[in-house]
Amino acid sequence: MNRKLRRASQRGGKQSAATQPEPNVDPKFIEALLTQGWMLLGDRREEEATPLAIRLIRLRETEETKAFFVDCVKRWKFFPGADEIRDVIARALREAWAKPHELFNIAKGILKADPVIGAAIQRAMAAWPRRLSLRELLGPTGLAQIAADPLLPALLERSTVFDLEIERLLTSLRAALLEVVTQDRGHQDKHILGLCCALGRQCFINEYVFDLTAAENDRAQRLRDRINHALDVHAAVSPMEIGLLSSYMQLDCLSAGELLKRSWPGSIGGLLEEQILVPAAERKLRTAIPQLTPIANDTSVKVREQYEENPFPRWVKLSPNRPMPVDEWMPLQFPFSNFRKIGKGTDLDVLIAGCGTGHHSIIFAQVLPEARILAVDLSLSSLCYAKEKTRAMGIKNIEYAQADILELGNLDRQFDMISSSGVLHHTADLERGWRTLLRLLQPDGCMQVGIYSERAHHNVIVAQRWLKERGFTTSVESIRRARQELIAAAASNASLADVLTFTDFYSTSEFRDLFLPTQMHRYTIPKIQSFLNENNLEFLGFNIIGEIHDQFCSQFSRPAEVDLSLWDKFEDRHPNTFKRMYEFWVQRKRP
């Protein structure tokens, strides 16, 4: 496989067919190459499809060539010649051609294969927990080299870094930069400033989850105080200091009025927008969001408090989603299901029950631009985040409101589609919440449900007990300590080692949500089947990544994908199948 990719990447030397731009190409030629490429992927011939995808994206960037490019490269951790497309991967991240996790593995592979970054990762890992100086970590020229590379900053700004080795490099790099910047205020290199700001954006995204020594914390606090004093007396402040501080704490800790009056480089302006202006706009929205139901249930009150403190999840950009009527999308997604057409095109009433920070509701709004969408959540902080993101993206068809799912039964409204993904398992009574939502569903309506798998969460349960026994709390300081102790214990405990593979491990709110939850239920496929039988519901199919779906179909058959009993057998053989959660669609059976 790799030999073919190597030949494709080397053909023609450095300006290979895989990398050389070819202008003025006939659109029919592009279309023919795309058809060929999709056929190759359909035959699982990724080693032939990938060079073709690279050539296509160099020929012409369209929504179709971008989609094909992403579909190819997301299948790889690395391949010969991958480093030649780091500029394309960087732009794909910045411009949100895809969901960040779809590009994370190939970006990670390119970075780890880089002679400077790869060597620095090994040094940081070997020295841990000691923080290395910049020279020890990167040598005399390494900092300038990685700062000028477009890929690492793009990854930091777009995606939570869910890789322990890269996290430890970044943690050591942050400490080394802090020491240098606090000793030398003259650092003004634009690339290094850009790297500092990208690191600050990463730490804002992951909610400052990186390990922090006491000495480092003291140095960061002194830097904050020094900047505030300089702002108060109208003295000069180095942009590098602002950039580095943002990787330790949110910039609204500074004298915002004076800070915003000054002229700053564009990278600093982006930080101020993200960490001061947008949070201020979100706070102003709190009084504008209506409350549809009381929130009185003890569990609901506690869950609301959790997400007021840690709105979940924090996200940056959404990749575009093509509008498509549900009556066309569902048969494409689940061709062997008994889906009955709703018959309304995109003119639907949609309920997002537990919208969190708006990621899910905005996707529905993009796919169904004419729908009337009601998105509800317990947490005002989450709703404000969602509403501000919705405004910034120019989306007009979402109404946000505060509500408890358990109390929505009295809502005088029916919906053609209801989505409650990753929410019901946090309610006091999962099945009561599910039945409440079903009462709001139109007779021909369909519903998306996402709930945790008991099998896939076996090791999560082990980690939860481990954390509880040691008295860890939900503060960010305690979560930082908990993560480091879990990492150390994982060296001799396979169950704890497995939890390091969950993306939730790599940000504060997601760690709290999964490992220190206020409330959590888990389900099994037989329980799902039993609930569907009791409530006259038809299983339409799972939303699941293509590789797992293909593996299931190879063991059983494509029509078998609607048979929950076979999925139960498959999960028994492959317990990590639903590691994220069971996410599936149902519809009422015909009367």
Instruction: Please report, for the domain that includes residue 435, its CATH number.
Output: 3.40.50.150
Over range 211-222, report the average pLDDT: 96
**Cα dihedral 171, 173, 175, 178 sign:** negative
Domain that holds residue 82: 2-113
Q: What is the pTM of this model?
A: 0.92
pLDDT (tens digit per residue) in 322-369: 899 999 999 999 999 999 999 887 789 999 999 999 999 999 999 999
Query: How confident is the prediction for the chain on average, in pLDDT?
Result: 92
Q: Give the residue with greater pLDDT, 4 vs 243.
A: 243
Over range 431-443, report the average pLDDT: 97
Domain boundary among 113, 144, 165: 113
pLDDT (tens digit per residue) in 261-307: 999 999 999 999 999 999 999 999 999 999 999 999 999 999 999 99
Same domain? 489 vs 541: no
Over range 499-523, report the average pLDDT: 95
Contact 521, 529 (CB under 8 A): no
pLDDT (tens digit per residue) in 440-453: 999 999 999 999 99
Same domain? 447 vs 481: no
What is the pLDDT at residue 209? 97
What is the pLDDT at residue 590? 81
Rounded CA-CA distance 99/71 in Å is: 11
Domain boundary among 67, 85, 113: 113
Same domain? 78 vs 134: no
Please count the other Cβ atoms lying within 10 Å of the Cβ belonging to residue 546. Answer: 11
What is the pLDDT at residue 25? 79
Same domain? 388 vs 405: yes
Same domain? 128 vs 99: no
CB proximity list for 545: less than 8 A, separation 6 or greater:
none
pLDDT (tens digit per residue) in 157-170: 998 999 999 999 99
Q: Looking at the 3D structure of the chain, how many domains does it have?
A: 4
pLDDT (tens digit per residue) in 247-260: 999 999 999 899 99
Same domain? 424 vs 451: yes
Same domain? 219 vs 367: no
Same domain? 540 vs 573: yes
Asked whether residue 516 is domain-assigned, the answer is no
Task: Answer whether residue 1 shows pLDDT above 60.
Answer: no
Same domain? 81 vs 174: no
Task: Answer whether residue 17 shows pLDDT above 80.
Answer: no
Rounded CA-CA distance 338/63 in Å is: 32
Rounded CA-CA distance 359/395 in Å is: 12
Distance of CA 253 to the CA centre of its chain: 26
Task: Answer whether residue 4 shows pLDDT above 90.
Answer: no
- Residues in the chain, how many? 591
Task: Answer whether residue 13 shows pLDDT above 50.
Answer: no
What is the pLDDT at residue 344? 86
Same domain? 213 vs 256: yes
Q: In the block, which residue shows the tokens 């990590």?
A: 576
Least confident residue range of 75-79, 415-419, 462-466: 75-79
